[in-house]
Amino acid sequence: MNIVEVSDHKHRKAFLDLARIIYKNDPNYACPLDGEIEGIFDPKHNSFFNHGEATRWVLENDKGKIIGRIGAFINTRKANSFDQPTGGCGFFECIDDKKAAFLLFDTAKGWLQERGMEAMDGPINFSENDNHWGLLVDGYMPQSYGMPYHQKYYKAFFEEYGFKVYYEQYSYHLDMTKQFPERFWKIAGWVAKKPGFSFEHFRYDNAEKYIQDIISVYNDAWQFHDNFSPIDPNDLRKVAKEGKGVIEEEFIWFAYYEGKPIAFFVMMPDINQILTKLNGKFHWWNKLKFLYYLKRKTITRARITIMGVVPKYQRFGVESAIFWHMDKVMKTKPHYKEVELSWVGDFNPKMISIYESVGGVRMKTHYTYRYLFDSKKPFKRAPIIPLENRVNKLKSKNVKESAE
């Protein structure tokens, strides 16, 4: 076998084509667009290259046939915030051959070690964790856009190599043809009408304002999470620009208290229901097909990609009130039958409780693994931070700032 770093058109094409070969006869698989995957490894398109580096390889058998692939990356904003400097690997695909899989893992590990890393997370993305993150281990059904789909035998490859589960990721499904639980409606309706609180959805004619609102809530809500790093506004602007024509303005909601943003909720139409027909290609004919299927309301599922509430308001039922508004929107769009709430980590019991309170049913599980290069060092799972701890940290921070 021969491992080749991707550096020319031939091997870039081979990297992309391998997934089409691996999942050729699997009706559940929706091939990501080639341009999207290429953009992740292109410094001109991926802002993470401003604070990191990445590369990728393909694996050839003795006859020169591509049988595997993998990428490796270092996000310098986060790498040194763990007990061991930690990089990542991702976009792993391989035939059912353990020797080939281990060679791919060894290659990623070696590249990371050369750059001072002592651990490797995978499979992850060289970007934010809302897309291409985690290994599918349960729920082999059509995945929503951005959620990875894998062969069942990959789990054994990762675990036999020495990867351990760092955290579990759950995706819940919500049947929009059913009513929300009665108790939920009482709380949601009460909060939605409470003085001081207001709610509005995203509008493109005021996009920059909403981008800044997302940043404000995100930085406040996630600041106490381990390995937090601020969100890049240019990444949000890019998503808004590229998603125009697909994004439903009424699927993105904001909550305010006395005019200050305190929560946001982002849901996107699941374009995987169209991408299954395009096989990863977006040439002019497929662009026409995409628009055709979009107009015919082929998309019947949406995916909640992220939801955030600043700690001070996490006991006010703000999430319920947002769902209350969203339900009214969904009633005006009856072709949407299902919502996927993904993903929520096992380290976030608060959000799991919210998803279950609205009637969500756990349908899929992904694992994010961690592999310590020195097996003698103690392995720790991702920490769970109870809501009470976050509130206490916030109080301590406020007291400290007042004293200063």
Task: Label residue 358 by pLDDT band (50, 70, 90).
Answer: confident
Q: What is the mean pLDDT of residues 318-341?
A: 90
The helix/strand/coil state of 234 is: helix
CB neighbours of 293 closer than 8 A, spacing ≥ 6?
A: 273, 274, 277, 299
The domain ranges of the chain are 2-168, 174-365
Task: Label residue 354 by pLDDT band (50, 70, 90).
Answer: confident
pLDDT per residue over 211-237, tens digit each?
Answer: 999 999 998 877 666 556 778 888 899
pLDDT per residue over 52-100, tens digit each?
Answer: 999 999 999 999 999 999 999 999 989 998 999 999 999 999 999 999 9
Question: What's the pTM value of the predicted model, to 2 decimals?
Answer: 0.89
User: CA distances (Å), 284 to each of 289, 316, 377, in order?
Assistant: 9, 49, 53
The helix/strand/coil state of 213 is: helix
Using the predicted structure, report yes or no on whether residue 387 has a pLDDT greater than 60: no
Higher pLDDT, 118 or 389: 118
| Sign of the four-CA dihedral 45, 50, 268, 277 | positive
Quote the tokens at residue 310: 């600043």
pLDDT per residue over 233-289, tens digit each?
Answer: 888 998 899 889 899 999 999 999 999 999 999 999 999 999 999 999 999 999 999
Beta bridge partners, 72, equal 55, 89
How would CATH label the architecture of 2-168? Answer: 3-Layer(aba) Sandwich (3.40)
Q: Look at 61-65, 179-183, 315-319 and tell me which has the smallest mean pLDDT.
A: 179-183
Domains 2-168 and 174-365 alike in fold = yes
CATH class of 174-365: alpha beta
Residue 386: predicted pLDDT: 64
d(CA 366, CA 134) in angstroms, rounded, equals: 5
Quote the tokens at residue 13: 């094409």
